[in-house]
Structure 1
Amino acid sequence: MHSDTFDSHAMAIYPELLEVRHDLFDNPESSGKEERTARVVANYLKKLGLEVKTNIGGHGVVGVLKGAKPGKTVMWRADMDAATFRMGAHGHQGLSHICGHDFNTTIALGIANTLSQDVDNLAGTVVFLFQPAEESQQGAKAMIADGLFEMLAVDEVYASHIGPSATGVISTKTGNLFSHSRYLEIELNGTDAAESIASDVHKIMNGLTRVSSPKLFFDLNNAMSLTHGLANPNTIYQDYVFFAGPPQVSTNNSRTVLFAELYTANKGDIDATVSGLKKQLDRREYRDRVHAVRVSHVRQGVDNDARLVDQAKQLLLARFGDQVLETYYGQVPFASEDFGHFQTRVPGVYFFIGASNAGKGIVSFPHMPNFNVDEKVIRLGVTRFSTLLYSRLKTD
């Protein structure tokens, strides 16, 4: 099949894919509770005739599409869970696909539908992996621990996520695509002067912060700026260390715990920053009260394979032109991904596909309060990524 044929099919199934997306959006499920979503996905794949495996690493679903001709195996991963977020003046929790996972899942189902129409000419196998618990960063590890790669011999793995670029524009880069992040907890004996200690720790954190142009950096609208953003070779988002706000304070049982999130562009800066924090604490008058400094919630991030990135970019340029491809030069701040756990086992590439439409006032920056998506991205994503996977099966 040719990309024009893929596009024709994507247009034909667009109405049914819209229904799927609206259904997922209306029925969001949080990390680890994606039972209904998994059922919708599994039923759709079964109707296409795929071999379907369920309950992998929780509510994970795998659909296997075997071509009539021999070849390698490529995997396409989509995340299914919704995100919890604070809303309203009192900070009540809500649940929504404010990250766009409903679109990620729908596009993957559309790719499965498209490629399943040409099984006779398909060389090799395409594995469609629908992952639970991405928001909690537990799903990828759970699926791997449940024997994913023992039951499937995979040669390459790919994924896409809704991003803030114009609708249909595909963005990626070699190597790390996201910030590295860790949770930090500083536990102190006693509860006296908790707020003043927290204020002092905040000063220490500010002293360890390293960002270019702070006013611009922390306004995430600048992530897409032509002069400062991720797609500019001189982006301000390629060398940074920062904490996500002042430490949160909690007291319990004669203990004080200060909590903060650390983000770095380069992985090596994590240990250096934590070491610097500990050295500063050792110099404070309250140093004898410091019971422990704990680092947790290790996020694997993304490490895109250089060869596969180059080959994917060449293919997309040849088939769709340079207007659909964008290279990132920095690491997305305030965000991470557990897709990298798959990449520790199999080389792969993670993409963003833009869904912003300036003419309609749609800005598709995940987790932002005004997050919205141009639904046309479904058809474009199905066409472009079907073309990519179909071509990868024929490429050594």
Structure 2
Amino acid sequence: MLQAIHNKLDELYPEMVDIRRYLHQYPEVSFQETKTAQYIADYYEKLGIPYEKSIGGNGVIATLTGGKPGKTVALRADFDALPIQDEKDVPYKSKMDGVMHACGHDGHTASLLTLAKTMKGFQDELPGTILFLHQHAEEYAPGGAKPIIESGALDDADAVFGTHLWATTPLGVLQTSKDVFMAGPDRFDITVQGQGGHGGYPHETKDAITIGSQLVSQLQQIVSRRLDPLKTAVISIGQFEAGDAFNVIADKAKLVGTVRYLDKDVQDQVMKEMEKIIKGICVANDATYTFNYEKGYPPLVNHAEEAELVLKASENVQAIHTAEEVKPVMAGEDFAYYTIEKPGAYFFTGAQKEGNPYPHHHPMFDIDERAIPTAAKTLIAAYFEYQKQ
């Protein structure tokens, strides 16, 4: 039956592309994906597959109960976009100013929708129940996964699997981990309050730019000099805002950045070290400060048995020539909440487009659309492997 399912998915490839390109032209950012959610619901309405809307926000879950007994498994695809201007010169370029599918979630949605259409035709032979889990707001904490879980919609699920079309991994390559797979992404902002003044009289001021620059430099010492060398973290400053004129010493500076970690003990240590450094530098410069640290998603930790199932399932997908275990990546994913609650695994489906070297969250981001059916085939292959347990 699996081969017949894969053949049907191949037949639906033009529809996958059409869906992906339509969604690419009409993206919606996190927590505002109402039209996308309705598009998904309308698709299931036409298929005659029962579904529920507005789960945990804009989430949509469709339920396909097979004709044979078995386990209930959720297959997840996210569908939110990013506040990025699409700079590609393609027919399916985003028509929404300042909003873009720059992470492949349009492809995830196309993959899961056409998989549902395919499986509807095999319902009588299907063991168990598939929950087609369409999740909103992956890109922005607190995210969509946690409220979906809290809604109780996945209480009956035995396991959950998901994939990400990964634009920096070659087509035909599957990557996963049997342990920590993706980092916990936190956010912080620091505001330094100094005392401004004339650019020619710096000795009469408390230069917020100088103080902020010291912070940028010294915060990097946490990773290189305070953490155990066998553990890791990332501290990146993404914004540094200060000053209004060339001849005025700035009285205020704002720094915004992210911390990435794989171990909660490291997260705790980084937070404490940051507080000490910020306080010490500001006190030394007779300045005041505010420091806000927002914890994001936890690290994504795969279950070893389910990750092994994914690797085994990939052997049944002709388009995959390499399936490998990889080291953790420092990007974050709120799929982490699912594997805290349920057995499950997340994996990357290689989607690198020839001639397009741009990474996720880039204005020129794009994927090789041939990866979309590969993702669907692997998800359903993992589903069947799990039913054998």
TM-score computed with the length of structure 2 as normaliser: 0.83
- Following the alignment from structure 2 to structure 1, what is the Cα–Cα distance between the partners of residues 239 and 47? 50
Does residue 286 of structure 1 match 2:289? no
- Following the alignment from structure 2 to structure 1, what is the Cα–Cα distance between the partners of residues 58 and 359? 27
3-state SS of 2:146 partner = helix
Q: CA RMSD in A?
A: 2.6
Deviation at 1:336? 0.6
- Cα distance change, pair 255–362 in 1 and its aligned pair in 2 (3 A): closer
Q: Is 1:189–1:255's contact at 8 Å kept on the other side of the alignment?
A: yes
- Cα distance change, pair 87–26 in 1 and its aligned pair in 2 (3 A): closer
Q: Deviations over 1:199-220 (max 9, x none)?
A: 1111211212349xxxxxxxxx
Query: Equivalent residues in 2 for 1:78-227 (5 A)?
Result: 78-85=77-84, 94-137=98-141, 138-149=143-154, 152-163=155-166, 164-192=168-196, 193-210=207-224
Q: Is 1:198–1:249's contact at 8 Å kept on the other side of the alignment?
A: no
Does residue 395 of structure 1 match 2:388? yes
Q: Is 2:173–2:349's contact at 8 Å kept on the other side of the alignment?
A: yes
* Structure-1 residue corresponding to 2:235: 243
Q: Could you list the runs of 4 or more consecutive aligned residues of structure 1 that deviate by over 6 angstroms after TM superposition?
A: none
User: What is the identity, as a one-letter code, of the residue corresponding to 1:208?
Assistant: I
Q: Is 1:356–1:364's contact at 8 Å kept on the other side of the alignment?
A: no
Question: Which residue among 352, 357, 362 is the counterpart of 1:356?
Answer: 352
Deviation at 1:86? 6.0
Q: Is 2:108–2:164's contact at 8 Å kept on the other side of the alignment?
A: yes
Count residues in correspondence.
Answer: 357
Q: Deviations over 1:113-142 (max 9, x none)?
A: 222211111111000111111111321122
Query: Equivalent residues in 2 for 1:370-381 (5 A)?
Result: 370-381=364-375
Q: Is 2:172–2:319's contact at 8 Å kept on the other side of the alignment?
A: no
- Following the alignment from structure 2 to structure 1, what is the Cα–Cα distance between the partners of residues 195 and 259? 24
Greater Rg over alpha carbons, structure: 2
Question: Which residue among 320, 338, 341 is the counterpart of 2:337?
Answer: 341
Deviation at 1:385? 2.1
* Structure-2 residue corresponding to 1:301: 299
Deviation at 1:319? 5.5
Deviation at 1:257? 4.3
- Following the alignment from structure 2 to structure 1, what is the Cα–Cα distance between the partners of residues 359 and 216? 28
- Cα distance change, pair 342–250 in 1 and its aligned pair in 2 (3 A): farther
- Following the alignment from structure 2 to structure 1, what is the Cα–Cα distance between the partners of residues 59 and 222? 40
Deviation at 1:316? 2.1
3-state SS of 1:245 partner = strand
Q: Is 1:201–1:247's contact at 8 Å kept on the other side of the alignment?
A: no
Structure 1 residue runs of 5 or longer lacking an equivalent are 212-237
- Following the alignment from structure 1 to structure 2, what is the Cα–Cα distance between the partners of residues 283 and 272? 16
Deviation at 1:177? 1.5
Q: Is 2:302–2:344's contact at 8 Å kept on the other side of the alignment?
A: yes
Deviation at 1:182? 1.4
- Cα distance change, pair 291–319 in 1 and its aligned pair in 2 (3 A): closer
3-state SS of 1:161 partner = strand
When structure 1 is superposed on structure 2, of 7-16 and 100-109 the one drifting more is: 7-16
User: What is the identity, as a one-letter code, of the residue corresponding to 1:10?
Assistant: L
- Cα distance change, pair 106–256 in 1 and its aligned pair in 2 (3 A): same
- Following the alignment from structure 2 to structure 1, what is the Cα–Cα distance between the partners of residues 257 and 319? 43
* Percent of aligned positions that are identical: 28
Q: Is 2:239–2:255's contact at 8 Å kept on the other side of the alignment?
A: yes
3-state SS of 1:371 partner = coil
User: What is the identity, as a one-letter code, of the residue corresponding to 1:155?
Assistant: D
* Structure-2 residue corresponding to 1:225: none
- Following the alignment from structure 1 to structure 2, what is the Cα–Cα distance between the partners of residues 245 and 185? 9
- Following the alignment from structure 1 to structure 2, what is the Cα–Cα distance between the partners of residues 258 and 367? 21
Q: Deviations over 1:304-348 (max 9, x none)?
A: 00111112212323664972312212x223x21111112221111
- Following the alignment from structure 1 to structure 2, what is the Cα–Cα distance between the partners of residues 246 and 389? 40
* Structure-2 residue corresponding to 1:274: 271
- Following the alignment from structure 1 to structure 2, what is the Cα–Cα distance between the partners of residues 367 and 5? 36
When structure 1 is superposed on structure 2, of 14-23 and 364-373 the one drifting more is: 364-373
